[in-house]
Chains A and B, each alone.
Chain A
């Protein structure tokens, strides 16, 4: 069958809802006279209905998070750096301050073997290295792509320091347990990009974190012997485990 181009255009326009009243009348007159034209109209309508019935795909939940974490931070009005900021801009000092903060926390732990507190508001200012841990080599990393929790957790090492780098987004409150059974490892500090929003408690061999929404934070562990070790992570929603993973650290000799 051969149908004039003008009428195939009108048939398409009709199916796509891009036809004027006069064109519609012209098309109808043609279809009333042409069985081939009507058959083409029916066929194309059918294929379009099939196409329109295709359900759209949901993007994986981590995609948005990865994109937002890949873009540069919002530039803020520049102000002259204070003495403390200049001092802390020096990696060695920054690292030392981190360590000192860790020692303070560790002493608290040794005193009670258990602490529970909201994250220190001023630790962000002290450290500021969550996104760029000082000379910290990546040891291992895991991705979490659960419906309500997505992102990455990395284990980095810098000399005797192990850094758990959490970069996560949760739709609702999530508890995280990080277990390290090696007795030569202890909790040494905590930092987060936001000044609040994450809670943390620590005891021998375990750090517990609570978070909701988009969070970037780091847990510092002191690995006294620099030994090979594994940190086991459990992510819980309403007390139920939604994801489990392990991060390994193997020292380079």
Chain B
């Protein structure tokens, strides 16, 4: 993730350059949408969150700390907005996971759509702290240090959350999760 390019774009955005904002939008629309979608399990809600995030970013360029990375900032806004959305809609309670009992482990599943759906269902069984680290690590490709910055928690905490999250996912995907 090139922070230099982002910094230049943000400078142009601050001077009211719409094209620069559109460039940022093109670059980050998909990861922001995917992060929201994995948090909320709804394309419609993820679309709304994506719009909210970019409008907040547009209105808050003056508050952006240029010593930080833009993607850390926008991903943090995305996760916070998603969690706020879950709070507002009372959907913080984990869903009951209904694992398909086909005798296959996740590594044997060949149908990628089915895998995707199973993973999404399993993700929704986890609390938002664990879901966030999985999303940042596996769907947005962030490093431990980057996750630490985005979530504002120590790297050690990131590692332990990631470990627990993966154990939960493994249990959920193999149908052991209760």
Contact = CB atoms under 8 A, between A and B. Distances in A.
A228 interface: no
B33 A59 contact: yes
15 contacts: A9-B163, A13-B159, A18-B144, A47-B166, A48-B138, A54-B119, A55-B116, A57-B34, A59-B33, A59-B47, A67-B29, A67-B51, A68-B18, A73-B18, A74-B16
A75 interface: yes
A85 interface: no
B97 interface: no
Given A12-B159, A59-B33, A66-B51, A54 B16 contact: no
B169 interface: yes
Interface of B: 16-18, 21-22, 25-26, 29-30, 33-34, 37, 43, 46-47, 50-51, 54-55, 58, 105-107, 109, 112, 115-116, 119-120, 134, 137-139, 143-144, 159, 162-163, 166, 169-170, 173
Contact of A59 (B29, B120, B139, B169): B29
Interface string A1-27: 000000011001100101000000000
B44 to A, nearest CB: 9
Main secondary structure of the interface of A (DSSP, over half): helix
Contacts of B17: 74
Contacts of A44: 163, 166, 170
Most buried by B among A47, A57, A70: A47
Interface in A25-66: 43-44, 46-60, 63-64, 66
Contacts of B21: 68, 71
Interface residues of A, number: 33
Q: Which label, helix, strand, loop or mixed, suits the secondary structure of the B interface?
A: helix
A76 to B, nearest CB: 8
Interface of A: 8-9, 12-13, 16, 18, 43-44, 46-60, 63-64, 66-68, 70-71, 73-75
Nearest to A40: B167
A71 to B, nearest CB: 5
Given A60-B47, A67-B55, A74-B18, A51 B119 contact: yes
A63 B50 contact: yes
Contact of A63 (B18, B47, B173): B47
Contacts of B30: 56, 58-59
